[in-house]
């Protein structure tokens, strides 16, 4: 036996699959690139896979790619809604542990800090290998209502919807922090950051805009204490957070953080000022004085780069942070 971390596990999985004529993988969650990363795209490998497509944590696009790569008469890619195991079996050796077939579970050399810390065991004794094979066979024979089933196109389509919903609230894998900028630096690729933008504006609300806002407020008194943007149209989406900078004087003025509401008119969109940002999969976050100062120092450069003659400019937080860290 040998203990393997997330980097060593990928190396050993490649090795055992490279020399095997048969492989049985019961791995719950799969990510983009797993097929190539593990060397499953070679001919001559008799492959059976059980994943947990039902979980919403298994990438249906990658499973679909694997199915397409296999000969049509040898499509043996199954899903089991109870599966949480990570078992990589060949007749000569097997690996069991915590590493899923994903970028977070199996790390390429040099990328370990971006993945989970995993522990796996390499097994090569015949009695244990036989036990693992029998266990795999039992998974294929799971009874209703949690039976293992062959994955078809309709299952992939349903799984894609669940995948899209779940990835918005996926855990970040970072340590807890309440600092907005620090949280981004720990987990810059988390999908929730797409809901945060910097909003630069030059022109104040026009008289026509004020009249429209007044009319909307008279119809709905709940809008009375909300702020507003004018002529941003579909660029502002309900639920997004805006870090607001006024550029009317030519110099940036930080004006707070706002959340876009669902209330809008022909030209007016109402927003609510907030002190805390709540994003799926992340802890509650605040823009500390240090983070505010960092964004302020870069604000003019960010605006100049993205304005291109426009007076109202939205910039994704990721792009803004790239210039902050420049």
Q: What is the pLDDT of residue 171?
A: 57
**Torsion, Cα of 280, 282, 287, 288 (10° steps):** 170
- Interval 251-278 mean pLDDT: 93
Q: What is the pLDDT of residue 131?
A: 96
Average pLDDT over the chain, rounded to an integer: 87
Phi, psi angle pair for 312, to nearest 5°? -115, 125
Task: Read off the pLDDT of residues 111-156 as tens digits, 9 standing for 90 and up.
Answer: 544 567 889 999 999 999 999 999 999 999 988 778 899 999 999 9
- Interval 14-43 mean pLDDT: 90
Residues 6+ apart with CB under 8 A from 318: 184, 188, 193, 194
Taking the C-alpha atoms of residue 194 and residue 315, their distance in angstroms, rounded to an integer, is 10
Closest alpha carbon to 201 in 151, 149, 254, 136? 254
Q: What is the pLDDT of residue 72?
A: 77
Q: Give all strands (DSSP E) within 38-173, no chain letters.
A: 46-51, 77-79, 86-89, 94-97, 120-123, 149-150
Task: Read off the pLDDT of residues 211-238 as tens digits, 9 standing for 90 and up.
Answer: 999 999 999 999 999 999 999 988 999 9
Q: What is the pLDDT of residue 62?
A: 94
Higher-pLDDT residue of 304, 109: 304
Residues 6+ apart with CB under 8 A from 276: 284, 285, 286
Question: pLDDT-based confidence at 105, cuts 50/70/90?
Answer: confident
278: left (phi > 0), else alpha (psi -120 to 50), else beta? beta
Taking the C-alpha atoms of residue 224 and residue 80, their distance in angstroms, rounded to an integer, is 52
Taking the C-alpha atoms of residue 286 and residue 281, their distance in angstroms, rounded to an integer, is 15
In angstroms, the Cα distances linking 130 to 59, 95, 164 are 30, 13, 38
Residue 1 has pLDDT above 60, yes or no: yes
**Torsion, Cα of 79, 85, 88, 91 (10° steps):** -90
Task: Read off the pLDDT of residues 160-212 as tens digits, 9 standing for 90 and up.
Answer: 988 887 766 555 555 546 678 888 888 888 888 999 999 999 988 999 999 99
Q: Give the count of beta carbons closer than 10 Å to the beta carbon of residue 259.
A: 18
pTM comes to 0.59
Structure tokens at 116: 């989970």
Q: What is the pLDDT of residue 113?
A: 47
Residue 59 has pLDDT above 50, yes or no: yes
What residue spans define the domains of the chain?
Answer: 2-167, 180-324
The CATH number corresponding to 2-167 among 3.30.565.10, 3.30.870.10, 3.30.540.10, 3.20.80.10 equals 3.30.870.10
As a whole-number percent, the residues of the chain with pLDDT over 70 amount to 93
Taking the C-alpha atoms of residue 250 and residue 304, their distance in angstroms, rounded to an integer, is 11
Q: Side-chain half-sphere of 122: how many Cα atoms within 13 Å?
A: 17
Q: What is the pLDDT of residue 188?
A: 84
Residue 49 has pLDDT above 90, yes or no: yes
Q: What is the pLDDT of residue 108?
A: 58
Question: Highest mean pLDDT: which of 71-80, 127-136, 283-292, 315-324?
Answer: 127-136
């Amino acid at each position: 036996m040998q203990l393997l971390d997330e980097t060593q596990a990928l190396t050993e999985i490649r090795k055992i699959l490279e020399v095997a004529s048969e492989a049985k993988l019961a791995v719950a969650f799969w990510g983009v690139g797993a097929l190539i990363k593990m060397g499953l795209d070679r001919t001559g490998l008799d492959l059976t896979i059980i994943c947990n497509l039902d979980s919403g944590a298994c990438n249906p696009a990658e499973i679909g790619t694997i199915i397409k790569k296999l000969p049509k008469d040898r499509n043996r890619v199954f899903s089991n809604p109870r599966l949480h195991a990570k078992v990589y079996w060949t007749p000569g050796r097997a690996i069991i542990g915590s590493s899923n077939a994903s970028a977070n579970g199996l790390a390429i050399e040099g990328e370990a800090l971006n993945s989970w810390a995993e522990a796996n065991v390499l097994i090569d004794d015949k009695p244990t290998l036989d036990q693992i094979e029998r266990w795999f066979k039992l998974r294929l024979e799971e009874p209703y209502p949690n039976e293992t089933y062959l994955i078809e196109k309709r299952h992939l389509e349903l799984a894609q919807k669940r995948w899209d919903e779940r990835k918005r609230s996926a855990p970040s894998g970072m340590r807890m922090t309440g600092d907005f900028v620090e949280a981004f630096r720990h987990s810059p690729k988390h999908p929730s950051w797409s809901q945060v933008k910097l909003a630069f504006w030059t022109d104040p609300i026009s008289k026509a805009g004020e009249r429209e806002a007044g009319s909307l407020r008279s119809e709905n008194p709940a809008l009375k204490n909300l702020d507003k943007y004018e002529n941003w149209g579909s660029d502002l989406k309900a639920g997004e957070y805006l870090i607001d900078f006024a550029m009317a004087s030519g110099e940036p003025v930080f004006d707070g953080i706002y959340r876009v509401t669902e209330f809008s008119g022909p030209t007016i969109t109402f927003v609510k000022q907030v002190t805390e940002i709540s994003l799926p999969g992340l802890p509650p976050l605040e823009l500390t004085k240090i983070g505010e100062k960092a964004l302020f120092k870069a604000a003019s450069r960010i605006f100049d780069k993205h304005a291109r003659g426009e007076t109202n400019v939205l910039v994704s937080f990721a792009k803004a942070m790239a210039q902050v860290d420049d």
